[in-house]
Structure 1
Amino acid sequence: MSKRLRTTRHALAAATAVLTPALAACGAGTGSDHTSGMPGMNHSGTPSASAGAMASMPGMAGAATGNGLAAAKDGYRMTSTAGSLPAGKATDYRFTITGPDGNPVTDFAVDQTKRMHFYAVRTDLTGFQHLHPTIAEDGTWTAPLAALQSGTWRLYASFTPESGTGKGKDFVLSRTVKVSGMAMTTSLPKASGTTAVDGYTVTVKGDLMAGMAHQLTATVSKDGKPVTDLQPYLDTYAHLTAFHEGDLAFAHLHPETKVDGDHGGPALTFHAEFAQSGNWRLFLQFQTGGTLHTAALTLHVG
């Protein structure tokens, strides 16, 4: 089953659950693993996962994976013995996904050529990494993290079991780790629909409201001219991830633009669902000439 169909199915289920009681009441970088950008930010050159869109009930948000802030959901759990990590140097983070039977899960569905998508986000949203870890025969995943700044980081695992009770269901689970040293926090940049990275200008527009599904559009330009040479990035021209200021809730942003050779852009559309109002930090990753770029900006959701 495709991720688009899975998302649609879960959206319909969520919509039914909301409408039923209401009706009753009415009587009715580069190609390498890591590149660097703004201070305190690490960007993985590894492509990312995101697909699907809600096909019915416009304006009604589906929540297939929750907000990503729990280490366990529906019997599946993200476990790790690492409660802390060193600062200032590359390190491996190892973890396991266990199923309802308590055993490590080893059978995962492939989503945009990867079976696991992993994010590392610093609590003040100045640090971001997007990786694709490898799995050992015993079910242990290893994520090769680039150097982390001191402070608290939340680590997210996004996956879909290929078998078991959770087969076909999308999960985002997470855990926190402390990175050694004295942490210096940075205030989140003010909300703005425009940002620049590596000579490119990215503009994001959308009438965003919490709890509602909307279309969000990102436009890429360079030197005042539209960019039309975006390269495919794991079955899409760009990957967009968002995290809520304060609690780091994970938002589900799915690309809708179809891929057609090495001439994507300038406009890219996304199906956006923000569960909470407030400021969200968005990380848009796109590729040109074999180089991955990561643009970060703050958007306010009403």
Structure 2
Amino acid sequence: MNTGVKITAFAAALAATFGTAYGVGQGIGPVGEPAKSVHGEHAGGTAEPEGEAAGRTGHEEGVAKAPAAGGLQISEGGYTLAMETPKPAAGKSVLKFSIKDAAGRKVTAYSTEHGKDLHFIVASRDLTVYRHLHPVRAADGTWSTAVDLPAAGGYKAFADFKPAAKNATGVTLGVDLSVPGAYAPRPLPAAERTATVDGYEVTLGGALVPGRAGELKLTVSKGGRPVTDLEPYLGAYGHLVALRDGDLAYLHVHPNKGGPGPDVSFTATAPSAGSYRLFLDFQHDGKVRTAAFTVHAGYAGQTTTDGADEAPHDAGDHPHG
């Protein structure tokens, strides 16, 4: 997978970018405080300073160069995400798209990863709607999937895949969608440690740190008791996607090794300081649920009272197709 997040594998790599999203908890897990903007950064990663500005950013010492984020381009590595339905209607509709190669031909052969040939994510620009969909591919390479987008506004779709071509690497492409109608964006949900969804409580611990690996541990319980029999979903016990607020840079995180709950642990590196929305898919009793969190990644090396890195302070819903 092409990802802006460094990860280790968990029980077979996990398949670590809303109105209220179906099945999505509104509680969020804070990691530090909201970070102020980082100078010299652009969508997709950290830009190298040029000319006299090189080496004088003021906070580069001790901070590792972060990996580039994914999903910020419609074309990459000779592949293009071509949407046939860029303006779906609000409510239930069908999205159609294809992946085209450098010659403009629709790709029909993929390498299966995390149980699927292609993973397709749709999120609203205000990060209050999240859909992890499972499209079906026709013989000519056209993909289609049903989707329910509850309100008008801006959305972004992500295709995460690995072509079957020799020496091909994973690619994550992103494209904007527009649902016509009156649009009233919502603020980013507040950061909280616990998300509640469908009677389950998911607690978030750990830190998301720019340029440095940090552990994110999510603990699932129900009725006050830990859930120790999570079921595999897409080949593992949890699936985490992180999206950066503002440009919706896509971080597809894979979990660390472990058992079927109650803890699901991920090692992730944020590509930059900023606010991120995390979406954890987990399966129990035959149904997939999604817990959503907001986290704030600050500057590496500054620590909160609980050991999580934080940024310096300035002065003064989810159906599965």
Q: TM-score, normalised by structure 1?
A: 0.76
Letter in structure 1 aligned against 2:244: H
* Distance in 2 separating the partners of 1:278 and 1:119: 21
Deviation at 1:231, TM superposition (A): 1.0
Deviation at 1:211, TM superposition (A): 2.1
Q: Do the aligned partners of 2:67 and 2:271 also contact (CA within 8 Å) in 1?
A: no
Unmatched 5+ residue regions in structure 1? 12-37, 45-58
Q: Do the aligned partners of 1:148 and 1:179 also contact (CA within 8 Å) in 2?
A: no
Q: Which moved more, 1:113-122 or 1:182-191?
A: 182-191
* Match of residue 288 from structure 1: 284
What are the Cα deviations for residues 226-263 of structure 1, in whole angstroms up to 9, with x where unaligned? Answer: 1112111121111111111111111131112346xxxx
* Match of residue 132 from structure 1: 134
* Match of residue 182 from structure 2: 182
* Distance in 2 separating the partners of 1:43 and 1:112: 22
Which of 63, 70, 77 is matched with 2:80 structurally? 77
- Give yes or no for the alignment of 1:273 onto 2:269: yes
Letter in structure 1 aligned against 2:250: F
Q: Equivalent residues in 2 for 1:12-91 (5 A)?
A: 39-42=19-22, 62-63=67-68, 66-88=69-91, 90-91=92-93
What are the Cα deviations for residues 84-123 of structure 1, in whole angstroms up to 9, with x where unaligned? Answer: 11112x2111111111232111110001221010011000
Letter in structure 2 aligned against 1:289: D
* Distance in 1 separating the partners of 2:189 and 2:89: 27
Matched positions, count: 247
* Distance in 1 separating the partners of 2:130 and 2:70: 17
Q: Do the aligned partners of 1:191 and 1:279 also contact (CA within 8 Å) in 2?
A: no
* Distance in 1 separating the partners of 2:150 and 2:111: 29
Q: Do the aligned partners of 1:213 and 1:273 also contact (CA within 8 Å) in 2?
A: yes
Deviation at 1:60, TM superposition (A): 7.1
* Distance in 2 separating the partners of 1:173 and 1:43: 25
Letter in structure 1 aligned against 2:78: G
Structure of higher RCO (CA pairs closer than 8 Å, 6+ residues apart): 2
* Match of residue 205 from structure 1: 205
Give me the identity figure in percent.
38
What are the Cα deviations for residues 163-187 of structure 1, in whole angstroms up to 9, with x where unaligned? Answer: 15x62x1111011111021112111
* Distance in 2 separating the partners of 1:272 and 1:183: 33
* Distance in 2 separating the partners of 1:268 and 1:289: 17
Q: Which has the higher helix share?
A: 1
* Distance in 2 separating the partners of 1:129 and 1:149: 13
Q: Do the aligned partners of 2:77 and 2:171 also contact (CA within 8 Å) in 1?
A: no
Unmatched 5+ residue regions in structure 2? 7-17, 25-63, 299-321
* Distance in 1 separating the partners of 2:120 and 2:270: 20
* Distance in 1 separating the partners of 2:189 and 2:101: 39
Q: Equivalent residues in 2 for 1:153-232 (5 A)?
A: 153-164=155-166, 167=168, 169-232=169-232
* Match of residue 33 from structure 1: none
Which aligned segments of 4 or more residues in structure 1 are displaced greater than 6 angstroms? Answer: none
Which of 142, 145, 152 is matched with 1:143 structurally? 145
Relative distance call for 1:174 and 1:138 in structure 2 (3 A) is: same
* Distance in 1 separating the partners of 2:148 and 2:276: 24
Deviation at 1:223, TM superposition (A): 2.5
